[in-house]
Amino acid sequence: MLVETRQMVPITRLQKELTQTVRDLSDSGNAVFILKNNNMEAVLLSYSEYEYLKEIEEIYEQFEIKNSIESRLKKYNPKNNIPWEKIREEI
């Protein structure tokens, strides 16, 4: 992933300029990449972008569940079902 250097902020500078950084983020919508010891440590992004990513995550999870169900249904054989009455007798 390529990140523009103007979007990178050392954590010490962020501590001093947090209010202005949040204002800039709100105005531009561009994420801020936080550096700690010259390594990417965190990302600050707008709340709307966060909500969007959470929605995508939920949709992806639903697709995973759908694929899992379809996979299980391919292996499903109704002849292997055990009648409820038989289960009750064994209890």
Please check the confidence at residue 91 and state whether its pLDDT lies above 80.
no
Mean of all residue pLDDT scores within the chain: 92
Please check the confidence at residue 52 and state whether its pLDDT lies above 90.
yes
Tell me the torsion sign for CA atoms 65, 1, 15, 11: positive
Span 8-44, pLDDT tens digits: 999 999 999 999 999 999 999 999 999 999 999 999 9
Quote the pTM value.
Answer: 0.66
DSSP designation for 39? E
Instruction: Give the pLDDT band of residue 68 (cuts 50, 70, 90).
Output: very high
Which residue matches tokens 């007798």? 89
Top-confidence residue, 87 or 57:
57
Instruction: Give the pLDDT band of residue 57 (cuts 50, 70, 90).
Output: very high
